[in-house]
Amino acid sequence: MSHDTIVLDDDEGAIDPNLPPDPSRRTWVGITCALGGAAGVATAVPFVSTFAPSDKARAAGAPVEVEIGDMVPGEMRTVEWRGKPVWIIRRTAEQMASLATDTNELADPDSLRTGEYPTPQYAQNEWRSYDDHKDFLVVVGICTHLGCSPTPRFATGPQPSLPANWEGGFLCPCHGSTFDMAGRVFKNKPAPDNLEVPPYKYLTATRIIVGVDEDNKA
């Protein structure tokens, strides 16, 4: 910032450089500078505000409410939370029954690992969901290996890249990791953990909110 000195004629109320300094003049100069500084701040505010998160960015991290009362067994829905796909699956009676028969083939059947994707306590069970809503699975649809999105393979029986005794679940097309109908990873696969269960809870018997639970408040 330049500090040029301006000298006005005395007849115009100017400052005579030969007179001793007047403290009152210094006061006004200070006020003027302060006001100028304030104006500079004011003009900077709109510029700085352009760095604030957009509505879309804020919404990406906000909790998401989902109506699930009209879902039928075997149906899957996808919503977005924090930029990630969240799968909501209402499992059939057959799919639920399969969860008790494949535990010996799973790397972490009770979801007790506390790695990068620890499972909430209410989902540390074979169905990985709330006790009073066992048929609904809520998981993040991203493989815990390198971030690919697995493909739902709900049909049972022999299929390409799947074992002959396949009982339904998910196959990661990138490196072959397989997950059962609770999102639990099978042994000896590249994925180190089960699919992530996001924080969520029931608002009513037919509506959930993803991104909030007893340990993660909105």
Q: CA torsion sign, 213 to 214 to 217 to 218?
A: positive
196 secondary structure, DSSP code: P
Overall CATH class of domain 57-210: mainly beta
Pure H helices in 21-123? 23-49, 55-60, 93-98
**56 band by pLDDT with thresholds 50, 70 and 90:** low
**64's tokens:** 């998401």
- Distance separating the N- and C-terminal Cα atoms of the chain: 46
**182 band by pLDDT with thresholds 50, 70 and 90:** very high
Q: What are phi and psi of 117, to 5 degrees?
A: -125, 65
* pLDDT on residue 58: 46
All structural domains of the chain with their residue ranges: 10-49, 57-210
Q: Read off the pLDDT of each residue in 195-210 and give the average, rounded to a whole number.
A: 96
**59 band by pLDDT with thresholds 50, 70 and 90:** low
pTM of the model: 0.71
